[in-house]
């Protein structure tokens, strides 16, 4: 939660370019009748507002002042009708503007989401999820707000002031000039204040996110605090933070409290001038009493449009920064895309070859993770990848799945460079089980069905049985209908892996990729996972990033990957005989596994899921 606020604070380049403005207005293009409609409505509303004030003057001058009640009634009839018209226009602009805002939000969210689905994994590696969520949620809100209510308020303000000036000029042009002189002063003062106020509120938000952080630590670290007896010192530090918040919050409140009175005071000079000169004009007979009354109303009502416009102006820059962030997301290019003329392979059955593959991640183009890598895997073989973290094991399987493509060199599947195939054609035929498997909120059945959307309940259960997941699932409270929680957090790590295995079984892929869990899973679940893996590996070309001895031993070939190359390759017995990396790795691993298996305290215990 806090991350989001921090990302929001981040400043984007705020040089307002004409291109950005055009692109923002372009968001309204598809819905232009709505935009035209609400502009028309709000224009009508503000013209009528000014006209009503004029009618009030007419009632006074032509009715009340001369004692003509029928004239009063004659003016009131259209007055009343116009009020109904105005009410209709009010309905119109609220509905049109609001719905248009929702439409723009909806469009932006959809566009961003759709675009995100096409982006490559490299984009996700360098972009935090929180950042993306802020773009989709708050930035789209801010931009939609600008093109709807912001535009509405500005239009309302401008037409209001202009029509008021026209009516005032109709009544008395000299006095209008005096009033007109005040407007620029009001505009400048109002914008200055709004800018200041917004800066203060930004400060408040920043301190607020620090306070939230402090509370977070206060709560998550409460056991430590208590055992160390740090209560007083903690409170003292926190007190510093809250007094800072107090000061910043008060400055914002103070500025807001000062704003209205000052603007009112400025306009009261206008009022004084109207009374003075207006009075003289009335004496001279060039102005009526009703005219003075109308001027008084016009001046009082002029404050609001100016206030609103100043607010929109102050928020403008932030909204444009939001828009630029959104556009930067929409402009991000996918790096792994279908080549022109790419086709569906129909089947991926066949050998897999890496030929002179070099690979470096985008953000570190000089540090090749793999260089001149060659590998030939025969159809149906199981390959176990072992070796230290960062050695390149994950990169190899990511390349097989075509989450990334080689920087140079080729990957051939079934005899052809796989860039000839469509991404969908490859990825729908590769089954992947990740180390920390991701499940979607929903029930177990839905999660397994993710592997093949059209599968029947029977097929889902069949897959779960093959994967060894069925038994634990039926033991769950609601069986296949049990909710797995957000990200699957209601299940243990082992259970999540079993379900993601079942999901992969259901997909019936031609190539199987698995990253074994490093953290301990209880022995029973572990045995089930092994069984599920066996099902998957049967007859399929499989790549396993292996951490368990049993898996390693079962592989047709073991590759020890170190620093981006194959350090050793061969069967279990061959490698042990060599007495090299694998020998060391194996004996160490064996010792650890035995310790864990034999520990009378841990054996058979279900360990809580990690992460």
Partner 1 sequence: MSAQPGSELISLKQVGAESLWKGMWRLLEGRRLAYVGSMLGLGIAALGRSSVYLLLGFFIDDVLSSPDFAAQVPLVALGFIGLAVVQGFFTYLSGTLAGRTGEVVAERLRNYLYDHIQRLSFNFHDRTKTGELIQKVTSDVDAVRRFIAQEATQFGRIVTLFLANFAALFLLDGELAWLSVICVPITILMSIWFFKRISDAYEDFQNQDGVLSAVLQENLSGVRVVKAFARQEYEQNKFEKENYEKYERGRKLLIWHSTFWPLSDIITGAQMLFGYYIGAQMTISGQLSTGDYLSYITLLVWLIWPIRNLGRVIVEMSRGLVSFERVSRIIREEREPLEDGQASLPERLKGELVFENVSFEYEPNMPVLKDISFHVQPGQTVALLGSTGSGKTSLVSLLPRFYDYTSGRILLDGVELKDYPRRYLREQIGIVLQEPFLFSRTIRENLRYSVGREVDNADIEAAAADAAVHDVVLGFPKGYETIVGEKGVTLSGGQKQRITLARTLLKKPSLLILDDSTSAVDTETEASIRAALKRQLGGRTTFIIAHRIQSVMSADLILVFDKGRLVQQGTHAQLLEQDGIYREVFNIQTMIEHEVEREVASANQGQ
Does position 530 interact with partner 1 (CB under 8 A)? The reply is no
Beta-strand pair 408-413/352-359: antiparallel
Select the residue interacting with partner 1 from 35, 42, 44, 116 (CB under 8 A): 116
Paired residues of 514 in beta bridges = 433, 544
Select the residue interacting with partner 1 from 28, 35, 44, 59 (CB under 8 A): 59
Beta-strand pair 511-515/541-545: parallel
- Count the residues of the shown chain that bind partner 1, applying the rule CB under 8 A: 150
Taking phi first (over 0 means left), then psi (-120 to 50 degrees means alpha), and beta for anything else, what does residue 352 get? Answer: beta
Does position 240 interact with partner 1 (CB under 8 A)? The reply is yes
Select the residue interacting with partner 1 from 170, 188, 474, 594 (CB under 8 A): 594
Select the residue interacting with partner 1 from 264, 328, 456, 489 (CB under 8 A): 264
- Of the ranges 161-169, 269-277, 472-480, 555-563, which one interacts with partner 1 (CB under 8 A)? 269-277
Does position 56 interact with partner 1 (CB under 8 A)? The reply is yes
The span from the CA of 397 to the CA of 135, in Å, is 31
**Minimum CB–partner distance for residue 420 and partner 1 (Å):** 17
Does position 80 interact with partner 1 (CB under 8 A)? The reply is yes
- Of the ranges 29-37, 96-104, 179-187, 409-417, which one interacts with partner 1 (CB under 8 A)? 96-104
Does position 68 interact with partner 1 (CB under 8 A)? The reply is yes
The span from the CA of 559 to the CA of 547, in Å, is 13
CA dist 187 → 193, 253, 283, 306 (Å): 10, 21, 33, 6
Does position 265 interact with partner 1 (CB under 8 A)? The reply is yes
Does position 401 interact with partner 1 (CB under 8 A)? The reply is yes
Place of tokens 């709560």: 219
Does position 67 interact with partner 1 (CB under 8 A)? The reply is yes
Place of tokens 């215990």: 605
DSSP for residue 65 = T
- Of the ranges 14-22, 260-268, 474-482, 524-532, which one interacts with partner 1 (CB under 8 A)? 260-268
Paired residues of 560 in beta bridges = 386, 568
Nearest CA among 412, 446, 452, 411 for reference residue 431? 452
Q: Of the two residues 563 and 605, which places its CB atom closer to partner 1 in the complex?
A: 605
The span from the CA of 301 to the CA of 306, in Å, is 10
Does position 611 interact with partner 1 (CB under 8 A)? The reply is no
Place of tokens 């416009």: 309
**Minimum CB–partner distance for residue 351 and partner 1 (Å):** 22
Select the residue interacting with partner 1 from 150, 391, 406, 451 (CB under 8 A): 451
CA dist 358 → 335, 365, 420, 427 (Å): 16, 11, 19, 21
Does position 180 interact with partner 1 (CB under 8 A)? The reply is no
Q: Could you give the 3-state DSSP secondary structure of residue 415?
A: coil
Does position 113 interact with partner 1 (CB under 8 A)? The reply is yes
Q: Of the two residues 376 and 605, which places its CB atom closer to partner 1 in the complex?
A: 605
Q: Of the two residues 15 and 84, which places its CB atom closer to partner 1 in the complex?
A: 84
Select the residue interacting with partner 1 from 9, 181, 577, 610 (CB under 8 A): 577
Does position 321 interact with partner 1 (CB under 8 A)? The reply is no
- Of the ranges 8-16, 24-32, 117-125, 155-163, which one interacts with partner 1 (CB under 8 A)? 117-125
The span from the CA of 370 to the CA of 120, in Å, is 19
The span from the CA of 598 to the CA of 596, in Å, is 6
- Contacts of partner 1 in 326-365 (CB under 8 A): none
Does position 117 interact with partner 1 (CB under 8 A)? The reply is yes
Select the residue interacting with partner 1 from 403, 418, 472, 512 (CB under 8 A): 403
Paired residues of 544 in beta bridges = 384, 514
Nearest CA among 84, 82, 88 for reference residue 47? 82
Does position 15 interact with partner 1 (CB under 8 A)? The reply is no
């Amino acid at each position: 939660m806090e991350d989001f606020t921090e990302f929001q604070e981040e400043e984007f380049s705020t040089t307002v370019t004409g291109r950005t403005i055009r692109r923002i207005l372009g968001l309204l293009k598809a819905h232009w009748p709505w935009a035209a409609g609400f502009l028309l409505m709000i224009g009508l509303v503000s013209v009528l507002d000014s006209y009503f004030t004029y009618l009030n003057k007419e009632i006074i001058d032509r009715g009340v002042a001369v004692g003509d009640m029928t004239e009063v009634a004659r003016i009131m009839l259209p007055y009343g009708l116009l009020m109904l018209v105005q009410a209709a226009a009010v309905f119109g602009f609220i509905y049109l503007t609001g719905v248009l805002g929702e439409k723009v939000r909806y469009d932006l969210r959809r566009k961003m989401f759709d675009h995100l689905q096409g982006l490559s994994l490299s984009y996700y590696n360098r972009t935090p999820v929180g950042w993306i969520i802020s773009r989709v949620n708050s930035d789209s809100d801010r931009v939609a707000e600008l093109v709807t209510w912001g535009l509405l308020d500005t239009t309302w303000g401008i037409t209001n002031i202009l029509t008021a000036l026209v009516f005032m000029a109709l009544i008395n042009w000299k006095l209008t000039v005096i009033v007109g002189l005040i407007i620029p002063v009001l505009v400048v003062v109002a914008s200055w204040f709004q800018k200041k106020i917004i800066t203060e509120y930004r400060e408040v938000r920043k301190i607020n996110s620090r306070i939230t952080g402090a509370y977070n630590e206060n709560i998550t670290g409460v056991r430590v605090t208590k055992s160390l007896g740090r209560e007083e010192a903690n409170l003292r530090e926190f007190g510093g933070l809250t007094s800072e918040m107090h000061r910043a919050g008060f400055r914002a409140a103070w500025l807001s409290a000062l704003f209205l009175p000052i603007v009112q005071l400025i306009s009261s000079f206008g009022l004084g001038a109207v009374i003075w000169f207006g009075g003289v004009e009335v004496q001279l007979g060039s102005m009526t009493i009703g005219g003075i009354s109308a001027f008084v109303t016009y001046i009082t009502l002029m404050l609001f449009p100016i206030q609103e416009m100043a607010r929109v102006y102050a928020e403008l820059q932030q909204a444009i920064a939001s828009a630029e962030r959104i556009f930067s997301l929409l402009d991000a290019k996918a790096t792994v895309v279908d080549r022109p003329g790419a086709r569906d392979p129909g089947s991926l059955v066949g050998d897999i070859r890496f030929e002179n593959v070099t690979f470096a991640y985008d953000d570190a183009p000089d540090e090749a993770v793999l260089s001149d890598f060659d590998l030939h895997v025969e159809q149906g073989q199981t390959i176990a990848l072992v070796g230290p973290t960062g050695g390149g094991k994950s990169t190899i399987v990511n390349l097989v799945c075509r989450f990334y493509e080689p920087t140079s060199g080729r990957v051939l599947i079934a005899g052809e460079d796989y860039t000839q195939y469509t991404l969908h054609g490859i990825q729908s035929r590769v089954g992947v089980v990740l180390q920390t498997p991701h499940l979607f909120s929903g029930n177990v059945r839905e999660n397994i069905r993710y592997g093949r959307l059209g599968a029947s309940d029977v097929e889902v259960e069949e897959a779960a049985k093959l994967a060894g997941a069925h038994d634990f699932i039926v033991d769950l409270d609601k069986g296949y209908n049990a909710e797995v929680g957000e990200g699957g957090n209601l299940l243990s790590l082992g259970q999540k892996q079993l379900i993601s295995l079942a999901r992969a079984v259901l997909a019936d892929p031609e190539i199987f990729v698995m990253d074994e869990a490093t953290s301990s899973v209880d022995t029973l679940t572990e045995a089930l996972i092994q069984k599920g893996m066996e099902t998957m590996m049967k007859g399929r070309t499989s790549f396993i990033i292996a951490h368990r001895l049993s898996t390693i031993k079962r592989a047709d070939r073991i590759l020890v990957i170190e620093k981006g190359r194959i350090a050793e390759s061969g069967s279990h017995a061959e490698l042990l005989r060599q007495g090299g990396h694998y020998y060391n790795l194996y004996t160490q691993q064996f010792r650890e596994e035995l310790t864990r298996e034999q520990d009378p305290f841990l054996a058979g215990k279900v360990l809580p899921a990690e992460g």
